[in-house]
Structure 1
Amino acid sequence: MLSPTWRSSLEDAFLWIGGWRPSMAFHLLYSKAGLQFEAKLDELLQGLRTSDLGDLSATQLAQIDEIQKRTIAEEREITDMMARHQETVADASMVELSHAVSEMLRANETDKGGNKEVEERVDSALMPKEEGLEEILQRADDLRLRTLQGIVNILRPKQCIHFLIAAAELHLRLHEWGKKRDTSRRLNEGTSSDEGTTHDLSTTSR
């Protein structure tokens, strides 16, 4: 739900409730705008319009700033909501249930028809936790969508193209770099494991 299997560990490390952090869209926008502004500074100083993100007007910047403030406030609210919900995993009902199940396992009572009862209690305890996560994820997705729509509505058509291309490039490159690192890490772990096995065998044969 919150960590799709197709994502790399690098992408997972930067996830915010199942996806990209909404406020990151503004950092991306300002970063790309700064790069394009520097690249075409001479043209802008001559009063020429570049129609890219380096050519944001004062009105656009004010509108973006207003959306950014609202987004950050709601993002913090959802983050706090997630933190409170995560803490419910250690509430009294969960601690009591985990202890009861552990006692049953130690006494081997699950082999005496107790499996079904245990599963029902676990399902009953976890269901509201999962429903709460789904609700929070829906709010996070809604904020992501509204943030993107808000930015796009402020930008001019050509500026939208530059912004969306920059977002797509960043997403694709992070995914690509993350996958390469995951593959490299797995290969290194496999090599280390093989070397360890070879060392153990050579030591045993002496």
Structure 2
Amino acid sequence: MMSTSKNGKSFHKFFESWLVKQNQDLNQLVRASKDNNNDMMLSLLIHSVVKHYEEYYREKSRYAISDILGMLHPSWLSSLEDAFLWIGGWRPSMAFHLLYSKSGIQLEANLHELIRGFNTKDLGNLSGNQLVLIDELQHKTISEERKLSENLAKVQESLADTSMVELSHVVSELMRDELVVNDEEEKIKKNISKKEESLLDLLKKADDLRLSTIKEILRILTSTQGVHFLIAAAELHLRTHEWGKKKDAAVSHHK
């Protein structure tokens, strides 16, 4: 098993390389959105981008086994990104806000064409059936999100359960009497280890929900709409990361 520090550095390196890959995907998606590509070409591109998301969560899951705490408080993210984390990543329901925001922007930009009867094929032209399916998926996702949040609360509250309170008291008493606390520390390690296992399970389920939400949204959208959705997602992620890093650097410079 990797050490926590080595594991963190290893995933940080993977994360930086994955950002490069995401930026390359973004460039391809933008080019595809401007060219007259057929549905087959766009579907292949979307499939490739989704594969890269799958790779990210697969690696994240692998590293989390040896450093769940590091994954829940990632040092490779900025303070801005960290402030908006939900169980070690982005909140799945945010994908719908992203979709509706981009849809509104494109609807406004292409309003004249739509009034004249032209089909823009982007997110500004979602059909009634698509909106119904998206709404149903949003409600389902929020419900799953709520369950995970409730489970997280239970794990967090367990830090003050009877066993932990008793152990913290016993160890404090022994330390005051300057006695050895090896046996008690072993009990604490086992106790905390159980809580880490619960956190690992929660992160896995949260990441599964994040990935499945992206896939389900893409199934509802047409290939052209899917390209625009993935562009918006990549732009928001990459730019937020950059803004956060610049803000952290500015704060560090003024200290």
Pairing of 1:112-123 with structure 2 (within 5 A): 114-115=181-182, 117-123=183-189
Where do 5+ consecutive residues of structure 2 fail to align?
1-70
- TM-score for both structures, normalised by structure 2: 0.71
Cα RMSD of the aligned pairs, angstroms, is 1.0
Q: Which amino acid aligns with 1:12?
A: D
Displaced runs of 4+ in structure 1, greater than 2 A?
none
The structure 1 residue matched to 2:102, chosen from 29, 32, 42, is 32
Q: How far did residue 78 of structure 1 move?
A: 0.7
- TM-score for both structures, normalised by structure 1: 0.87
Could you tell me which residue of structure 1 aligns to residue 211 of structure 2?
145
The structure 1 residue matched to 2:254, chosen from 176, 185, 188, is 188
| CA distance in 2: counterparts of 1:105 and 1:179, whole angstroms | 42
Pairing of 1:76-95 with structure 2 (within 5 A): 76-95=146-165
Could you tell me which residue of structure 1 aligns to residue 51 of structure 2?
none
| CA distance in 1: counterparts of 2:104 and 2:141, whole angstroms | 21
**1:106-134 residue CA offsets vs partner (Å, 9 max, x unmatched):** 22213xxx43x233112111111000001
Could you tell me which residue of structure 1 aligns to residue 85 of structure 2?
15
Pairing of 1:57-76 with structure 2 (within 5 A): 57-76=127-146
| CA distance in 2: counterparts of 1:103 and 1:187, whole angstroms | 44
Deviates more, 1:101-110 or 1:84-93: 101-110
Could you tell me which residue of structure 2 aligns to residue 162 of structure 1?
228
Q: Which amino acid aligns with 1:92?
A: T
Q: Which amino acid aligns with 2:98?
A: L
Secondary structure, counterpart of 2:72 in structure 1: coil
Deviates more, 1:120-129 or 1:64-73: 120-129
- The number of aligned residues is 185
- C-alpha contact 2:167 2:184 (8 A) present in aligned 1: no
**1:73-96 residue CA offsets vs partner (Å, 9 max, x unmatched):** 111111111111110000111011
Could you tell me which residue of structure 2 aligns to residue 200 of structure 1?
none
Q: Which amino acid aligns with 1:72?
A: I
Could you tell me which residue of structure 1 aligns to residue 120 of structure 2?
50
Q: Which one has a bigger Cα radius of gyration? A: 1
Where do 5+ consecutive residues of structure 1 fail to align?
190-206
Q: Which amino acid aligns with 1:118?
A: E
Could you tell me which residue of structure 1 aligns to residue 198 of structure 2?
132
